[in-house]
Structure 1
Amino acid sequence: MNEINKVGTIYAVGVGPGDPELITRKAERLIREADVICTPTGRDDAASYALSIVEPLLDRSRQQVLTQVFPMRKVQDGLDEFWTRSAAEVAEHVRAGRTVVFITIGDPLLYSTFLYLYRVLRADYPDIPVEIVPGISSINAAAAAAGVPLGMAGDRIAVLPAVYEDEELQRTLQEFDTIVLLKVHKVFDRVYAMLCRNGMEKGAVFVRRVGSDQEEVVFDLGSLVGKELDYLSMMIVCKRLQRGDL
């Protein structure tokens, strides 16, 4: 059994998309055994979604919960101070012999907040051990909830933020068989209009807060036009679904 390193280690642990039952056994063990749970949030006054998933596993009488602010904005200029400060906090705990678990929704290596911290740790603290524990991504969970395959046989799959410019998004829709669009909430109407122009609107599904008690799967995309949508949402465009070839 892989014991926690008693001299201090940072574990980047994916806690899945929202359903506590989708936390892996290894992730649960590390979370329960950790000295410090590091959890990201987008603002000082915002709750951590990742923390809400693992809260039942914590022993707050023994474990310290360290909340770190990672502002979420498209332009990253000026954010280095946040990553640097957060890395220094984590490094201080590790060098004091504590085990730190940095929790992140989904998987730590897929559009995760941890990646910004990881970059600083590798550059400024190369002596500190970092282990990455994969988690179930919202992409896999959303496909399962909708019953839509991500890929079969020789299908080509693209995963990208929906904030791409129209020309790039149009090219992706033409060149790939399955397209997963993240961060679709602010640009949904524009993306839906593009799907309609390409005759692809019947081959798409919208999923919000997958794995939570607020999960919603919507195939009638037209019903969402003009509405304020959830940040934790995505769209899966599947040409096999469009063709009825499932």
Structure 2
Amino acid sequence: MTGILYGVGVGPGDPELLTLKAVRIIKECDVIVIPTVDKATCTAYNIVRQALPEVEEKEVISVVMPMTKDKKKLIESHLLGAGKVEEYLRRGRKTAFLTLGDPTVYSTYIYIHKLILQKGYKAEIINGIPSFCAVAAKLREGLAEGAEQLHIIPGSYKIEDALTLPGTKVLMKTGSKLGEVKEQLKTLNAAAAMVENCGLEGEKIYKTLEEIPEEAGYYSLIIAK
């Protein structure tokens, strides 16, 4: 009997935002997959550990996903990761791949998910609360009202055209381009706010565009209107 892979969204950071379904699936799984070298440095794993301490009793395998735009390196890491996961599925193990936020939104998990399905194994997605929903709640704002549009934009790519779209813009993973993104928003006279490390240690809230710094950590998300 072959196993099954679950891509489990653990939410944006606050362990209380881990869903009941995610907790149940993790409890039922034999193996935990993390997208970093070890447990100590894995944000998703540490979120789960706070809500479910018994996760530390489970076997953990590491599938390293490099932070790069090099397509060749990405494909190699995805194939290697899927191969590791397949070994456990072949042995009939229930396996949970932990990922921040929701597995369907800019998640590294989805590449493994596709490869595992192509190999003929079962794979399911367990939704988590997306980071932009948690950030909006932290800012005490709605994301979209009435006929207002909502656009989710990867901030580390070319975003000039996307910023001119009507409605609310969510800028994820701005990374080292934060200063550049801030200048573009200023040019458009946009209203913007940002939360860094939402729900995590070191959380910072910037309620206006002027307050947003030129540099911030990887887990920084901007909402612009």
Give the TM-score normalised by structure 1. Answer: 0.84
Distance (whole Å) between structure 2 residues aligned to residue 40 and residue 173 of structure 1? 31
Q: Report the Cα offset of residue 7 of structure 1.
A: 4.9
Structure 1 position 151 matched with structure 2 position 144: yes
Matches within 5 A, 1:1-246: 7-41=2-36, 47-56=41-50, 57-59=52-54, 62-123=57-118, 125-126=119-120, 128-165=121-158, 169-200=159-190, 203-226=191-214, 228-238=215-225
In 2: Cα distance, 1:61 partner to 1:193 partner: 44
Letter in 2 for 1:146: L
Q: Deviations over 1:96-153 (max 9, x none)?
A: 1211011100001110010121222122x12x11111100010110111011211111
Secondary structure at the aligned position of 2:71 is classed as coil
C-alpha spacing 1:212/1:189, structure 2 compared with 1 (3 Å): same
Greater alpha carbon shift after TM alignment, 75-84 vs 109-118: 75-84
Following superposition, the deviation at residue 58 of structure 1 comes to 4.6
Do 1:32 and 1:58's aligned partners in 2 also have CA atoms closer than 8 Å?
no
Q: Aligned AA for 2:217? A: D
Question: Contact between 2:152 and 2:172, CA under 8 Å: does it hold in 1?
Answer: yes
Match of 1:241? none
Secondary structure, aligned partner of 1:220: coil
1:149-198 Cα offsets, whole Å, 9 max, x none, are: 11111111111111232xxx333222221000111231122121122222
Q: Is the 8 A contact 1:31 1:58 kept in 2?
A: no
Where do 5+ consecutive residues of structure 1 fail to align? 1-5, 239-246
CA distance in 2, matches of 1:62, 1:149: 40
Larger radius of gyration: 1
Residue 48 of structure 1 and its aligned partner are, at CA, apart by 0.9
Q: Which runs of 5+ in 2 are unaligned?
A: none
Q: Which letter does structure 1 place at the counterpart of 2:128?
A: G
- Displacement of 1:8 after TM fit? 1.9
The change in CA–CA distance for 1:7 and 1:62 in structure 2 (over 3 A counts) is farther
Q: For residues 104 and 22 of structure 2, what CA distance do their matches in structure 1 show?
A: 15
Displaced runs of 4 or more, over 4 A: 43-46
d(CA) in 2 for partners of 1:32, 1:159: 32
- 1:38 and 1:100 in contact (8 A); partners too: yes
